[in-house]
Amino acid sequence: MHKLVRGATLTLTLISGLLAVATPSWAQDAFRIAGVLPLSGAFGIIGENMRRGVTIAIEERNGRVLGKPIEVSWDDTETSTQVAVQKTTRALSREVHTVFGEVSSGSTLAMMKLTDQRKVPHLITLSADDRITGSDKSRYAFRTSNTVAMENRMIGEFAQRQGSRKLYAIVADYQVGRDMWTALKADFESRGIQVVGMDLAAIGTKDYAVLLDKALRSGADSLMLLVVGGDVVTSLKQGADIGLPQKMRVMGTMLMDETLGQAVGAVGSVGVNSTLRYHYSQDTPRNKRFVEAYKAKYKELPSQYAGEAYDGMSWWLDTVESTGVWDKEKWVDAFRTSVRKDSVEGEKRMRACDNQAEQPGLFGIAERSGDGPIVMKVTERFTASALFKPCN
C-alpha cells in the first residue's frame, strides 16, 4: 500500500511538473511588453521618443500591473520592415503579453499579421495608414493615435482657412506617403487649391536642395512637405539655407514639434505649420503629471511621439488592471469598449467596430520667443466628431 501511495504521489508530482512546463510562461511571473521600434536609421529619433513615453507610463505604475512586475524588451527595427518582422517573431516566441510598435505603417501592418496569428494584443500609437483599423484590422491590434484620414481632414481644412491658392508637394516615397498624397491632392483640388507640382523623395534622402528649389520656382504659395523622422530635419535644415519658411507657407503632418525644432534650428523651423498628435501645453490633469515626470527624467519637454506613446500605453495598462484577471481575451474585450476620459489630449473613445480611438486633433505653428528654443503654438483644435466618420 505504501508503495502504491508513494507511486501515486510520484506520478502526480511528475504530472504537475509537466503541466508547469506546458503552461505558458507569460501567465506566471511578469507582464512582458515587446517594444519593436526603430531606434536607429531615418526613424530613430521617433522611436527613441516613443520609448521614453512608454517608460514614463510604466514608471508611474511603479512598474507593475495585475500584481506582477512589468518587463520591457526593446528591439531596434533599424527603420526596416524586414527587421521589424524578424524582431516581432522573436518577441512572440518569448510569450510576450503585448507588442508595442511600429513607426512605419508598412512595418506595423506586417507585424499585425503575426500578432493576429498568435492572438497577442498589439498597441499602435503612431502609424497612420487607414488599413490598420480599416481593411486589415485585427481583433488584437489597437490604435490610440491618428489615422491618415484624420490628418488629411485637418490639413485640408487648415490650407483652406489660410487662403492657400497654389500648392507644391514633396512626398516621402513609401506606400503610406503615396496613399496619403493621393487623398490629399483630391481634397486640395476639391477646395479650389491648385496643385502645381509634386516630387517623391526616397526615405533617407540627403539632398533636398533641388526639390526645394523647384518648389520655390513653381509659383506656389504653399509647400506640402510630407516627410517624417530624420528626413524632416534634413529637408528643413536645407530649406533654412534658402529662407524657405519665409518665402512659402510650409505645412505637413507631424512636420514640426519642439524636439524637431531643436534639431532643425530656428531659421528652418519658425513659421512651419504642422498637425500635432500631442502637445505638452494641453491643460489636463494627466498631461500636467506626465509633463512634470518627463521633464524630471529627461530634462526636456515631451515630443508628440513621446506623448502619444505614453497616452496609449497608460490607457492599455489601466485597462488590463481594470479586468482584474490574467486573461488576454478579457483585456482585449475591455479595451475595445473603453473610454479614456482623462487622456493627455482630452477624452478618447475606443471604437469596437475597428479598434480605433476617436480623439480631438491639433494644429500648430513653430515660433520662437526671443533667444529661447522653438515652441509650437497650438492654432487650431478639431473635435473628434469633425474628424471621424461614424462606425458602420
Q: What is the pLDDT of residues 231-284, one digit of tens each?
A: 999 999 999 999 999 999 999 998 998 888 989 999 999 999 999 999 999 999
Q: Is residue 17 part of a domain?
A: no
pLDDT above 60: residue 16: no
Number of structural domains found in the chain: 2
Cell of 267: 531659421
Kindly report the backbone phi and psi dihedral angles of residue 231, in degrees, each rounded to the nearest multiple of 5, phi listed first.
-70, -25
Rounded to the nearest angstrom, the gap between the alpha carbon of residue 267 and the centroid of all alpha carbons in its chain is 27
Q: Show Cβ contacts of residue 66 under 8 Å, excluding neighbours closer than 6 positions.
A: 31, 320, 321, 324, 325, 326
- Residue 32: the pLDDT is 97
Q: Is residue 318 part of a domain?
A: yes
Average pLDDT over residues 60-77: 97
337 and 235 in a common domain: no
pLDDT, tens only, 98-145: 999 999 999 999 999 999 999 999 999 999 999 999 999 999 999 999
pLDDT above 80: residue 6: no
- Residue 9: the pLDDT is 41
- Residue 144: the pLDDT is 98
- Residue 146: the pLDDT is 94
Residue 13 — pLDDT band, cuts 50, 70, 90? Answer: very low
Beta strand spans in the chain (E):
31-37, 64-65, 68-76, 98-100, 122-124, 141-143, 166-172, 194-201, 222-226, 249-253, 273-276, 339-340, 348-351, 356-358, 361-368, 374-382
61 and 86 in a common domain: yes
305 and 353 in a common domain: yes
- 12 CB neighbour count, 10 Å cutoff: 10
Q: b/e string for 360-371 if b means 16 or more Cβ within 10 A?
A: bbbbbbbbeeee
238 and 371 in a common domain: yes
383 and 311 in a common domain: no
Q: Which three-class secondary structure state does DSSP give residue 55?
A: helix
368 and 236 in a common domain: yes
pLDDT above 90: residue 27: no
336 and 290 in a common domain: yes
Spatial contact of 308 and 126, defined as CB atoms under 8 Å apart:
yes
pLDDT above 80: residue 17: no
Q: Is residue 134 part of a domain?
A: yes
371 and 223 in a common domain: yes
Average pLDDT over residues 59-64: 98
232 and 343 in a common domain: no
Considering only CA atoms, which of 71, 56, 77, 58 is closest in space to residue 25?
A: 71
**What is the signed CA dihedral for 236, 241, 245, 249, rounded to 10 degrees?**
-80
Average pLDDT over residues 16-45: 72
Spatial contact of 320 and 67, defined as CB atoms under 8 Å apart:
no
- Residue 316: the pLDDT is 98
- Residue 272: the pLDDT is 96
DSSP annotation of 221 reads S
- Residue 176: the pLDDT is 81
pLDDT, tens only, 337-367: 999 999 999 999 999 999 999 999 999 999 9
Which value, in Å, is the radius of gyration of the alpha carbons in the chain? 23
pLDDT, tens only, 365-375: 999 877 788 99
Q: Is residue 225 part of a domain?
A: yes
d(CA 12, CA 254): 60
Average pLDDT over residues 146-172: 94
- 337 CB neighbour count, 10 Å cutoff: 11
Residue 78 — pLDDT band, cuts 50, 70, 90? Answer: very high
- Residue 88: the pLDDT is 98
Average pLDDT over residues 296-314: 95
Q: Is residue 12 part of a domain?
A: no
Query: 304-323 and 44-59 are packed helices; what angle lies between their axes, rounded to 10 degrees?
Result: 40
The CATH number of residue 264's host domain is: 3.40.50.2300
Q: Is residue 109 part of a domain?
A: yes
pLDDT above 50: residue 208: yes
pLDDT above 90: residue 228: no
Average pLDDT over residues 21-25: 40
Domain range enclosing 166: 149-276+362-387
153 and 251 in a common domain: yes
pLDDT, tens only, 160-205: 999 999 999 999 998 888 988 999 999 999 999 999 999 999 999 9
185 and 122 in a common domain: no
pLDDT above 60: residue 10: no
Q: Is residue 343 part of a domain?
A: yes
Q: Is residue 332 part of a domain?
A: yes
- Residue 207: the pLDDT is 95
In this structure, of 49-53, 151-155, 210-214, the range with the lowest mean pLDDT score is 151-155
**What is the signed CA dihedral for 380, 382, 387, 388, rounded to 10 degrees?**
150
DSSP annotation of 360 reads -
192 and 133 in a common domain: no
